[in-house]
Structures are given as structure tokens and as C-alpha cells.
Amino acid sequence: MLGRPTLGKPALVLDRYCLNYKRIPYKTEWVEYPDIEPLCKKLGIAPTGQKEDGSGRDHYTLPAIYDPSTGSYVSDSFAIAEYLDKTYPDTPKLFPNDTTALQAVFTEVFRAKLAPLWAFILPSICTILNPRSEEYFRRTREATFGKALEELLPKGEVAVAEWAKYRDALTEVDKWYAKNGGKGPYLLGETFSWGDLVVAGYTVWLRIIWGEDSPKWKDVESWNGGRWKTLIDSLKEYETVV
């Protein structure tokens, strides 16, 4: 697996959750931010979208995986998960119960709900990057937002209101979870699946970035009857970086 050398990029958490859950052996190679695009182009790893600067140019992101048994490179976490289910049908499914289409909807909607979070997160990301990556990350994101990353961080009453928006977004997700029949902590009830990984991956990231004793993480742990903490705790064995 190719990942970025940070402690906390969520997609990376997500993909290692997938690989660990399926008990597929892998090793991680860390790629600094400015090296991602040249490396992907060199290896023929597909772009995962277009750059946000309006240029229409391809945007390359990690993680990506290389599977020596098929000679395939795969990027984009959803595509990686689909690839793994298809290529290793005897491992536990990430998309059980024929739910791939519904999980695609959930993923898109859940990510959109995280919008209030980015202003809190982006300045913090810089604090866990190596200097080459930090310079690249800061320069490209500041060009996109037209201001210093630190200026993005909500302050005072705005911070309270924006943090409440994130809490409210998770509360909407909690209401969906509450429809799962109460048989377990997962979207499908007892059965663990991709959507739970998306929620856990993006949520555990906050603990990784801010630390488990930070007031913000304590907040998240306490929300929605502890649903998010319960979910993340249930996946603890799959968090390990290999």
C-alpha cells in the first residue's frame, strides 16, 4: 500500500481497516505529498478526480494499493474496497448483503455531512506532516482557500457554532444508525460493512490528530450515547499500521 507519511489521513485509516479486516498481508510505503503525482504518473496509478483549483487537471491521491498477485494498481478507497471484495472473495466482505450501491450513497452523503469539520482539521494536519509535505500541503491548500490555513480555524462564537454543526451532522447519521434494528453497532445491525469503516475512519482521525485527551475528542466520544466511541472501539483490532 502506498500512503502518506502522516499519522492521520483518514483514507489511510480506511484502507488499512480494509486490509486488516480481510487479513490480507501488505506493507506500507510512505510517499511525501510533492511526490504523489509524479509517482502515480510513473506507475500508471489512475487519478481519483480533478484538482479543486478549477484547472480541470487530474488530481492524484493516495492511498493506492499495488497487488503483486494481479499486477494491479488501484486508487480511491471505494474502488480499492470493491477490488478487494472481488479479487479476494473468500475474505470477509466489505460490501455484504448486496449493498454496494446503497453503501456508495451512504459514503457520498456522509462525506458531504463532514463539511463543517474541515476548517478545524486542515490547520491541524500541518502539525503532523514532515517538512516537505507540510510546505506542499500548505502552499496548495492556501492557494485554493486564498488564506493562511491558520485563518481557516473558526474562533470564538463561530467555533462554537461550527463545532455544533458537526455535532448535528453526526446526530443525523446517528438517526440513520438507529434504524438498524438495534441488533448491533453497525449500519447493517450485527454485520460489519464498508459504511461503518467510513464513519469510523473519519472519526478516529480526530483522535489521532488531536489526541484522546483533547476536549474535542472527548466531545465526540460523548455524543449520541457514545455511538462513535463504541463503533471505533469495536474496530480497534483493525487499526494497526502494518
Footprint on this chain of its own copies (rule: CB under 8 A): 97-106, 108-109, 175-181, 183, 187-191, 195
What is the rounded CA–CA span in Å between residue 30 and residue 198?
A: 22
Q: What is the DSSP letter of 223?
A: G
- Taking the least distance from each CB to its own copies, the nearer of 52 and 190 is 190
- Taking the least distance from each CB to its own copies, the nearer of 98 and 237 is 98
Closest approach, Cβ 210 to its own copies, in A, equals 28
Query: To 10 degrees, the CA torsion angle through 106, 163, 233, 17?
Result: 50
What is the rounded CA–CA span in Å between residue 92 and residue 17?
A: 12
SS3 2: strand
Closest approach, Cβ 84 to its own copies, in A, equals 15
- Taking the least distance from each CB to its own copies, the nearer of 53 and 108 is 108
Closest approach, Cβ 75 to its own copies, in A, equals 17
What is the rounded CA–CA span in Å between residue 27 and residue 208?
A: 21
Q: What is the DSSP letter of 146?
A: T
What is the rounded CA–CA span in Å between residue 212 and residue 154?
A: 21
- Taking the least distance from each CB to its own copies, the nearer of 97 and 127 is 97
- Taking the least distance from each CB to its own copies, the nearer of 44 and 181 is 181
Would you mind telling me the total number of residues written for the chain in this entry? 242
Closest approach, Cβ 239 to its own copies, in A, equals 24
Closest approach, Cβ 105 to its own copies, in A, equals 5
